[in-house]
């Protein structure tokens, strides 16, 4: 296995990590921003107020995007397993 092949595998793995984590991170960030704006406008300074809506939103995102995430990870794993003969050379 040469250096370029290893770099390509790592680059692909990082791309898949970003793709799989993006929906939950974006939804969690959006909910956090909305709750922060709500807290700022109502002058409620309760720190624990953001946790429950974020957890519910992220859980909903995992339920909604879970099959797609799993399909993407299985595709990556199958590609890596199929490349094992090229890694041995």
The answer to whether residues 83 and 9 touch, using CB atoms and an 8 Å cutoff, is yes
Q: What's the maximum distance between 2 C-alpha atoms anywhere in the chain? A: 64
| pTM of the entire predicted model | 0.80
The whole-angstrom separation of Cα 60 and Cα 53 is 10
**The predicted structure's pLDDT at residue 49:** 83
pLDDT for the residue 45: 81
What is the 8-class DSSP label of residue 15?
H
Query: How confident is the prediction along the chain (89 residues), in pLDDT tens digits per residue?
Result: 788 888 999 999 999 999 999 999 999 999 999 999 998 898 888 878 889 999 999 999 999 999 999 999 999 999 999 998 888 87
Q: Where are the domains of the chain?
A: 3-88
The pLDDT value recorded for residue 44 is 84
Enumerate residues 6+ apart whose C-beta is below 8 A from 26. Answer: none
Q: Rounded CA gap, 44 and 39, in Å?
A: 5
């Amino acid at each position: 296995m040469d250096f370029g092949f290893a770099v390509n595998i790592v680059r692909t793995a990082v791309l898949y990590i970003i793709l799989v984590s993006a929906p939950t991170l974006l939804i969690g960030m959006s909910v956090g921003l909305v709750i922060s704006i709500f807290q700022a406008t109502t002058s409620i300074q309760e720190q624990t107020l953001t946790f429950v809506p974020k957890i519910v939103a992220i859980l909903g995102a995992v339920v909604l995007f879970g099959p797609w995430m799993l399909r993407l990870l299985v595709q990556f794993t199958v590609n890596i397993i199929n490349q094992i003969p090229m890694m041995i050379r």
